[in-house]
A and B are shown apart, each in its own frame.
Chain A
Amino acid sequence: MTWLALRLLRPYLIVAVTVTAAATAYVLYGATVVQGQLDAAGMPDCLDPNFCYPAGAALDAVFGMELVAAFVPPLLGLVLGVALFAREREHNTIAFALTQSVSRRRWVYVKFGWALAAGLACTATVASAHRLVATRYTVLANDTYELLYPLHLNNIGYMVAQTLLLVALAGVVGLSTGRTLQTLVLSALTGPVAWLVTAGVSVLCMYAVFLLTGGTDTTTGDGGFADDISMMDPFAYLVGAVAIIAATALVLLAPRVRGRDT
């Protein structure tokens, strides 16, 4: 079963690994571009945009790194999740797979397991490169690209959870519709909604904690610009945890999902 799941996932794994490698390489390249400008300005360690705001190619590099952080995690989720079951139903190979001596539950879980593991590894790679290498530079143009910031919050867990939730959502949609294109469109449309709901639930949780703790200020750091990098970590981890719970629920529900002809 594992062999089959991996063999079926292979083309999408190749795409996901290629996207991951390209995105990670771009992040590393972007960082060297900005660092090069800082070096040229004689301020190699500057973290204050009031003194070393990037310009020209460096600003473009920051924009590129922000785009990678914002959109590569959901892209990986779609790459790995959309075809997971939709294609099997579309080509009716599901009729072959499910009539071998393997339970529907095991078949669904094994396929989900490998897709989720691949999503975790790929996004964790990109997100780690972004957090550990890029954020030290993107923080210099935070104000310029603040609309992209909520999409990644500079947080590895937040970005990984986006991928996992989208893999689970697209997988379940694919099981239900049995059409690849329909699954792609529906997942791309409902993915952001699911993420907003997840964030909303997290906000409510934080508010509840805020009320229970009497509004204790948990802010750390001295308020410098570098603190922006990790400023949203508590919230990002909470959203990530809620998203992973939602993804787990979707995966557990998946064996019960049947299309109109199943």
Chain B
Amino acid sequence: MHTSDAPPVAVAAEGVSHRYGATTALRECSFSVPAGAVVALLGRNGAGKSTLMRAIVGLLRPESGRVDVFGQPISAEVLPRVGYVAQQAPLYPMLTVAQTLRLGARLNPRWDDAYARRLVDAGALRPTAKVGSLAVGQRARLALAMALGKRPDLLVLDEPLASLDPVARTELLGALMAAVAERGTTVLISTHVVADVQDVCDHVVVLGDGRVRLTAAVEPALAEHRIAVGATSDLGALDGLEVVERRRDGREFTALVRTAAPGPDGVSWHRPTLEELLLGYLRAETPQPTREVSAA
């Protein structure tokens, strides 16, 4: 439930934990996705991104915690508002492109056939081609068309760009952003490649070892961090500051520090790029409490 002056929430995860046998995939994950935001879910391989996304779309029932989508647990009532593309974009290989689109029309009450066909046509996919015979990029485009054809209010994309060449990545992101601009769709997109999403996302959630390490709007997060560069002999300048990640390179160090203002003199301070910020949190080895940075 949100108050009238708070932005509506598309996804709210509260204390989500899940294990696969002895392996813990998610530990007490809590974060929210504002409606209309483009959120990048970042983490290294095995960080728990896919598990979290499967929990959001209802494919996985977490052992503990709660995930709400548009204010309620995922259910048949909410599913028409949610589009999902799983890793590897699984579709039925024996169906043709046209049959797959017809399937979308049969299974989804909000299906926009003309829009889905337009997306498919833009990718030069032959309607008679079997899905199993499509190249990886073509299949990803078809999967995205299937998800966008639902005219979802929330789009959950699990590493949709991972197996695409640079041209296909650009095209797919273009189609995605066009949809966002047109309808204000909320997008949650997972990746382990920062460069893929740094130009399109306005919020980030960083996962590490199954924990949420950072959940923030991009601009406030950048404003509240600084990169410190200096000689290792000046490391004492970081004393008393909240250091997210620190690296030594010979006689120099580089550190990501959580501070809105530059620290003591003797060390060079600059505002991080989004890539520097995210890499800092991704590299941070020791589990840290969740950083929540809200918009000012």
Contacts and interface: CB of A to CB of B under 8 A. Distances in A.
Given A101-B79, A101-B80, A260-B21, A95 B108 contact: no
Contacts of A218: none
Contacts, number: 75
Nearest to B99: A7
Chain B, interface residues (CB within 8 Å), range? 20 to 34
A260 B150 CA distance: 29
A95 B92 contact: no
Contacts of A104: 58
Contact of A95 (B59, B76, B82, B110): B59
Interface in B171-194: none
Nearest to A100: B107
Given A101-B80, A101-B107, A258 B20 contact: no
Interface string A95-114: 11011111110100000000
A255 to B, nearest CB: 12
Chain A, interface residues (CB within 8 Å), range? 20 to 34
B60 A98 contact: no
A100 B61 CA distance: 17
Residue in B58, B59, B75 with the greatest tally of chain A CB atoms within 10 Å: B59
Contact of A92 (B60, B79, B86): B86
Residue in B61, B93, B107, B108 with the greatest tally of chain A CB atoms within 10 Å: B107
A101 B84 contact: no
B59 A98 contact: yes
A103 B76 contact: yes
B104 A100 contact: yes
A96 B92 contact: yes
Given A101-B80, A261-B20, A91 B90 contact: yes
Contacts of A92: 86, 88, 90
A51 interface: no
A100 B79 contact: yes
A93 interface: yes
B91 interface: yes
B266 interface: no
A64 to B, nearest CB: 35
Interface in B39-81: 54, 57-61, 75-76, 79-80
Given A260-B20, A260-B21, A99 B90 contact: no
B7 interface: no
Residue in B20, B79, B95 with the greatest tally of chain A CB atoms within 10 Å: B79
B60 A101 contact: no
A99 B61 contact: no
Interface of A: 1, 3-4, 7-8, 91-96, 98-104, 106, 258, 260-262
21 contacts: A4-B107, A8-B92, A91-B93, A92-B88, A93-B91, A95-B54, A95-B84, A98-B58, A98-B59, A99-B82, A99-B83, A99-B84, A100-B79, A100-B108, A101-B109, A102-B79, A103-B75, A260-B21, A261-B54, A262-B54, A262-B61
Given A3-B103, A91-B93, A101-B150, 10 more contacts: A1-B106, A3-B106, A4-B92, A92-B88, A100-B107, A101-B108, A101-B110, A103-B79, A261-B54, A261-B60
